[in-house]
Chains A and B, each alone.
Chain A
Amino acid sequence: MSDRIIGQVKRVNGPVIEVMGITDAHMFELVRVGQENLIGELIKLDSDCAVVQVYEDTSGIAPYAPVYGAGMQLSVELGPGMIGTIYDGIQRPLEAIREMSEIYIKRGITIPSLNREKKWHFIPSVKEGDNISGGTVLGTVQETENILHKILVPPLDKGILESVVPEGDYTVEDVIAVLRTDDSQTKDLFLMHKWPIRVQRPTQQRLPLDVPLITGQRVIDTLFPVAKGGTVAIPGGFGTGKTMTQQALAKWCDADLIVYIGCGERGNEITDVLTEFPKLIDPRSGRSLMERTILIANTSNMPVSAREASIYTGITMAEYFRDQGYDVAVMADSTSRWAEALRELSGRMEEMPAEEGFPAYLPTKIAEFYERAGSMETLNGDSGSVTIIGAVSPPAGDFSEPVTQHTKRFIRCFWGLDRNLANARHYPAISWIDSYSEYLEEMSSWWADQVGAEWLEDRTEIMGLLHKEVRLQQVVKLVGPDALPDTQRFILEVCTLFKNAFLQQNAYDKIDTFSIVEKQAKMLHIIVMYWKRGLQAIKNGTTLIKLRKIKVYQDIVKMKFTIPNENLSGLDKIEARLERSMDQMEALHA
């Protein structure tokens, strides 16, 4: 790094530093501040002054301290070695930092993001003289058992391949190919390249979003599914289940790779992931979950400006794997903390605030972030996707606040968490009334192919009942349940059954923790059958008590715990028994 002095500190106000005597700095340039070598980014230029946001604690920094420019933008290193690693908000490897500074994160530590010593087995797939351009696959590295890391030509490069190394073991800094550009310059290519975090990586075009990201969470997949490449917000007050939902998805969803961003949240939650994931087995690959996970941890007590950057660091890594043709899911917990970091930095720069102290550009920033999701045709003609699942932490759990409201404008799937459900320990506390998915229609043919056309009918039926129940409950609150006719009370009963037996899903139960789609569809069908046949039976003169006392009822209530994904025949038996019970009841009243 050729560091040159670009100015001197004029004023220190927390993470925001004003710099004077600026000569040749450029916007978003990576800088170092003082003898302490604190990492920062230049975020404003005004004649010979600049504003730098510093990613480390600025205690002790004084006026006139030198500020050095690195001559490049704040970037991430992209190449083999990211998977299974835990980084801070500006891609510093936390394990490596621990080796140097033990318990606490000391300041001014410089460690490369990707291991420089480690050798990777590279198998080239191009040859001398090939015409190559951004996204061309130069070759591959088997990074983990399941992730074949495709080494790509950096997006903006183009030319003729002058040379390429033979198959063999190389570090990320070894030259693996040389490119001759159109203007006859040569350029070395490596297993890794850098990319500025605030710039979206280019693709050819957006593709339709018609394949669901299967999460194994019934309320999500069945009621409010998200598409691969889609955008979701999970808003909810404290303790309502945002982190649990995101962790459940990180464990069980059918993405190829997970980028989990702990943005301004708890240290122990990261530790939880770090201790649990390596032990958990990905049901699809049979390998440890850590082998498909990249963690970014900028916890609430770590510097607030690096929290702002962590979101971009994460999404850039996700785009890089998308460009290799993978389906990547990004969990951002919590985007509110990121927005608050923006607010704090903006306040310290004395910018004019808009709503609740947030800067006026908040909606633009939120939009830019969610725009980086999508299912894409990549530069090399492959396809890959980035799904963004963002937690939102509204103050007082009030969804009318700016971050929730602006986020709602830019996402298409909304899983609203309900405080009352959480208090009653109905988990996941995803409200079936407030939540929605705009992807349902585009994806319904996928479901029809997968589990049959009945699925959509059943889903529509049950959603209808859930909405009717809300109105009926209002009546009950005024006059008591006895005032309702049995046909309507049966709606209440079926909804209670559906909530207990289907919507509630215990993340800590071995069997219940995730359900494959076939199990979900069958469970749904059984409950809908109970409703339809039961309603008929009531019309024929059966009582509610009798319907509830049929023997198979208790098995329906507990089927989520008793029937494992690997063997669904138990559900067929329950369905057959239910059918028989109903037949008998019908015969009795005929």
Chain B
Amino acid sequence: MLEQENRHLLSGREYIGVNKIDGPLIFVSKTHPVGYRELIECVDADGKVRLGIVLESSTDAVVVQIFEGTAGLTLPNTRIRFSGRPLTISVSKDMLGRVFNGLGHPIDGGPPQRSDIELDVNGMAINPTARQYPRDFIQTGISVIDGMNTLIRGQKLPIFSGNGLPHNELAAQIARQAKIRGTDTEFAVVFAAMGVKHDVAQFFIRSFEESGVLENVALFLSLADDPSIERLITPRTALTLAEHLAFNEDMHVLVIMTDMTNYCESLREISTIRGEIPSRKGYPGYLYSDLAELYERSGMIKGHNGSITSLPILTMPNDDISHPIPDLSGYITEGQIVFEREMDGRGIYPPIAGLPSLSRLMKDGIGEGMTREDHPHLASQLFAAYSYVKDVRNLASVIGEEELTPLDHDYLEFGREFEQKFVSQRKDEERSIEQTLNLGWEVLKFLPVEELHRITEEEIEKFYGA
């Protein structure tokens, strides 16, 4: 009991010398009782301070994880100071327009961030009864998204991409063009970069600059040459600010997190060093829960005006959608925008394959009074028809196009038009939802009316034309 009561007296105590260093982990024994997930400071021989948190605490030893990495540390000269509290950041609206590292420390040369509000970066689970079901249509101006995979305010909709595909361009285009029609509310952007290269960060900064919104963006950068462990905290820091802006300041926040694959790899690194039993491909069994802790922080709350809409970007290793990172993400998020390398090869931008892409929240955000009454059936029909196009193309590649039935020829033509006219658009092209839907009808006209099983008589009359 004595140990327990003295805990807060001892909490600031410093220990000189550690027992073991293994990758980003440090083991210290014979400490006072230290709390699980407590924040620590690690001071090296030169007096430089690094931050870390407690991953495991026992009567024998404490395991801490150092965010800035352990390079240059020695066993005897490393000092560890326990803080007795969790890792927090101080948050405020003034953070918009500024650049921070993954731990929330400014790296833009400006003054340190000061505020009375200190929040635990781990956040807490939102009570499901406090959530407001998201249903406001966000017009991104991109047909294949607005028309078929509609983004809703408060949704978490990741982009599943691959190396070298234009996911950054698409994310930047969405951030530039996203609007709620009939309102002039603007999105604040919280941008978290994990392990991406400098030029990617520069690309986003330039794009925000050009559209004149940079003062509405907070950037958290943990780039490729920063310690890999810092990536584990970067999205948490960023989301903590996002929560503050959305639910304390009533702002609409768009969170862009890239690249989730790097985040997951850092998680795997830690797990491997700790000798945990892996599940698939060496990733820890708790990858799902860990990702959920991040993704589930988006949404809307009853009685609050703000929202967090998140667009995580992840590159699928080997373009494989069944890889644990996209797979587990897909199980948590509310749909996904999937890029297809083959379409990119054919010069189609955005290279979004209709079929595996999905927006689960679109159902309540489209249709009469929200977009247009024909939207739900039109989207469903486009999906069905395009899916048949894929079958016909496969068949044609085996038996030759000449052998196809006349109907199948119609489908091939529809497929071409759909990709060229509807999906394809310029990187600065912004289409209204009406333009998008009208384009959809235009390409459907390449199919005979009997093929439109998913569309009602009235809609055919009104939009398809007799």
Residues of A within 8 A of B (CB): 8, 10-14, 18, 20, 57-66, 86, 94-95, 97-98, 101-106, 237-239, 262, 264, 266-268, 270-272, 274-275, 297, 299-304, 337, 340, 343-344, 347, 353, 356-357, 393, 395-398, 423-426, 476-482, 500, 506, 508, 548, 554, 557-558, 561
Provide the bound-state CA to CA distance between A397 and B328, in Å. Answer: 11
Are B296 and A300 closer than 8 Å at their CB atoms?
A: yes
Tell me which residues across on chain B come within 8 A of A482, comparing CB atoms: 403, 405
Say whether, besides A275-B133, A344-B285, A344-B289, A11 and B399 are in contact (CB < 8 Å): no
- Shortest B119–chain A CB gap in Å is 11
Beyond the given A63-B58, A267-B296, A340-B289, could you list 12 further A-B residue pairs with CB under 8 A, ordered by the A residue number? A11-B56, A60-B36, A61-B36, A103-B304, A238-B330, A262-B128, A347-B285, A356-B279, A396-B322, A477-B395, A508-B376, A561-B456
Are A301 and B125 closer than 8 Å at their CB atoms?
A: yes
Provide the bound-state CA to CA distance between A440 and B99, in Å. Answer: 64
Q: Could you pull out 11 A-B pairs where Cβ atoms are within 8 angstroms?
A: A11-B57, A62-B33, A63-B33, A98-B130, A102-B130, A104-B124, A104-B127, A105-B125, A301-B292, A393-B331, A477-B398
Tell me which residues across on chain B come within 8 A of A344, comparing CB atoms: 285-286, 289
B126 at interface (Cβ–Cβ under 8 A)? yes
Tell me which residues across on chain B come within 8 A of A238, comparing CB atoms: 327, 330-331
Provide the bound-state CA to CA distance between A554 and B460, in Å. Answer: 14
B21 at interface (Cβ–Cβ under 8 A)? no
Are A65 and B4 closer than 8 Å at their CB atoms?
A: yes
- Shortest B52–chain A CB gap in Å is 15
Classify the interface of chain B: helix, strand, loop or mixed: mixed
- Shortest B372–chain A CB gap in Å is 16
Are B395 and A267 closer than 8 Å at their CB atoms?
A: no
- Shortest B458–chain A CB gap in Å is 12
Are B131 and A425 closer than 8 Å at their CB atoms?
A: no
- Of the candidate stretches B101-109, B193-201, B223-231, B354-362, the one touching chain A is B354-362
Are A267 and B56 closer than 8 Å at their CB atoms?
A: no
**A-B contact number at CB 8 A:** 219
- A13 to chain B: closest residue by CB: B56
Are B301 and A103 closer than 8 Å at their CB atoms?
A: yes
- Interchain residue pairs A-B with the least CB separation, the first 7: A300-B292, A11-B58, A396-B322, A424-B387, A238-B330, A104-B124, A62-B33
Tell me which residues across on chain A come within 8 A of B132, comparing CB atoms: 271
Provide the bound-state CA to CA distance between A114 and B156, in Å. Answer: 34
Are A64 and B398 closer than 8 Å at their CB atoms?
A: no
Are A266 and B332 closer than 8 Å at their CB atoms?
A: yes
Tell me which residues across on chain A come within 8 A of B380, comparing CB atoms: 425, 506
Provide the bound-state CA to CA distance between A554 and B384, in Å. Answer: 18
B383 at interface (Cβ–Cβ under 8 A)? yes
Are A62 and B125 closer than 8 Å at their CB atoms?
A: no
- Shortest A237–chain B CB gap in Å is 8
Provide the bound-state CA to CA distance between A141 and B331, in Å. Answer: 41
Are A480 and B404 closer than 8 Å at their CB atoms?
A: yes
Tell me which residues across on chain A come within 8 A of B368, comparing CB atoms: none
Q: Please, what's the 1-or-0 string for B32-72, where 1 marks a CB less than 8 Å from any CB in chain A?
A: 01111110000000000000000011111000000000000
Tell me which residues across on chain A come within 8 A of B123, comparing CB atoms: 104
B122 at interface (Cβ–Cβ under 8 A)? yes
Most A CB within 10 A of own CB, among B86, B126, B335 = B126
Q: Please, what's the 1-or-0 string for B375-407, where 1 marks a CB less than 8 Å from any CB in chain A?
A: 010001001100110000011001100011100
Are B277 and A347 closer than 8 Å at their CB atoms?
A: yes
Are B332 and A395 closer than 8 Å at their CB atoms?
A: no
Are B57 and A62 closer than 8 Å at their CB atoms?
A: yes
Say whether, besides A424-B383, A500-B453, A270 and B128 are in contact (CB < 8 Å): yes
B466 at interface (Cβ–Cβ under 8 A)? no
Are B124 and A105 closer than 8 Å at their CB atoms?
A: yes
Provide the bound-state CA to CA distance between A66 and B38, in Å. Answer: 19
B450 at interface (Cβ–Cβ under 8 A)? yes
- Shortest B190–chain A CB gap in Å is 18
Provide the bound-state CA to CA distance between A395 and B325, in Å. Answer: 10
Say whether, besides A12-B58, A94-B129, A268-B131, A66 and B376 are in contact (CB < 8 Å): no
- B279 to chain A: closest residue by CB: A357
Q: Which of B59, B86, B322, B327 sits near A64, CB closer than 8 Å? A: B59
Say whether, besides A299-B125, A561-B456, A266 and B59 are in contact (CB < 8 Å): no
Q: Please, what's the 1-or-0 string for B319-335, where 1 marks a CB less than 8 Å from any CB in chain A?
A: 00011100110111011
- Shortest A105–chain B CB gap in Å is 5
B206 at interface (Cβ–Cβ under 8 A)? no
Tell me which residues across on chain A come within 8 A of B60, comparing CB atoms: 11
Q: Which of A13, A396, A476 sits near B327, CB closer than 8 Å? A: A396
- Shortest B98–chain A CB gap in Å is 26
Q: Please, what's the 1-or-0 string for B250-293, where 1 marks a CB less than 8 Å from any CB in chain A?
A: 00000000000000000000000000111110000110110011
Q: Which of B35, B128, B324 sits near A61, CB closer than 8 Å? A: B35
Are B36 and A64 closer than 8 Å at their CB atoms?
A: no
- A393 to chain B: closest residue by CB: B331
Q: Please, what's the 1-or-0 string for B294-322, where 1 marks a CB less than 8 Å from any CB in chain A?
A: 00110101001000000000000000001
- Shortest A507–chain B CB gap in Å is 9
Are B327 and A395 closer than 8 Å at their CB atoms?
A: yes
Provide the bound-state CA to CA distance between A543 and B457, in Å. Answer: 27
- B403 to chain A: closest residue by CB: A480
Q: Which of B4, B280, B328 sits near A356, CB closer than 8 Å? A: B280
Q: Which of A66, A303, A478 sits near B398, CB closer than 8 Å? A: A478
B1 at interface (Cβ–Cβ under 8 A)? yes
Tell me which residues across on chain B come within 8 A of A480, comparing CB atoms: 395, 399, 403-404
- B123 to chain A: closest residue by CB: A104
Most A CB within 10 A of own CB, among B37, B127, B450, B456 = B127
B137 at interface (Cβ–Cβ under 8 A)? no
B3 at interface (Cβ–Cβ under 8 A)? yes
Say whether, besides A103-B127, A268-B133, A344-B289, A66 and B4 are in contact (CB < 8 Å): yes
Tell me which residues across on chain B come within 8 A of A500, comparing CB atoms: 453
B7 at interface (Cβ–Cβ under 8 A)? yes
Are B127 and A105 closer than 8 Å at their CB atoms?
A: yes
Provide the bound-state CA to CA distance between A347 and B275, in Å. Answer: 10
Are A423 and B355 closer than 8 Å at their CB atoms?
A: yes
Q: Please, what's the 1-or-0 string for B1-26, where 1 marks a CB less than 8 Å from any CB in chain A?
A: 10110010000000000000000000
Tell me which residues across on chain A come within 8 A of B57, comparing CB atoms: 11-12, 61-63
Q: Which of B86, B277, B289 sits near A304, CB closer than 8 Å? A: B289
Tell me which residues across on chain B come within 8 A of A343, comparing CB atoms: 279, 285
B363 at interface (Cβ–Cβ under 8 A)? yes
- Shortest A280–chain B CB gap in Å is 14
- Shortest B460–chain A CB gap in Å is 11
Q: Which of B59, B286, B335, B394 sits near A63, CB closer than 8 Å? A: B59
B97 at interface (Cβ–Cβ under 8 A)? no
Tell me which residues across on chain A come within 8 A of B36, comparing CB atoms: 12-14, 58-62
- A425 to chain B: closest residue by CB: B383
B134 at interface (Cβ–Cβ under 8 A)? yes
Are B38 and A60 closer than 8 Å at their CB atoms?
A: yes
Say whether, besides A59-B86, A94-B128, A304 and B286 are in contact (CB < 8 Å): yes
Are B131 and A267 closer than 8 Å at their CB atoms?
A: yes
- A301 to chain B: closest residue by CB: B296
- A424 to chain B: closest residue by CB: B387
Provide the bound-state CA to CA distance between A97 and B395, in Å. Answer: 58
- B63 to chain A: closest residue by CB: A13
Tell me which residues across on chain B come within 8 A of A106, comparing CB atoms: 124
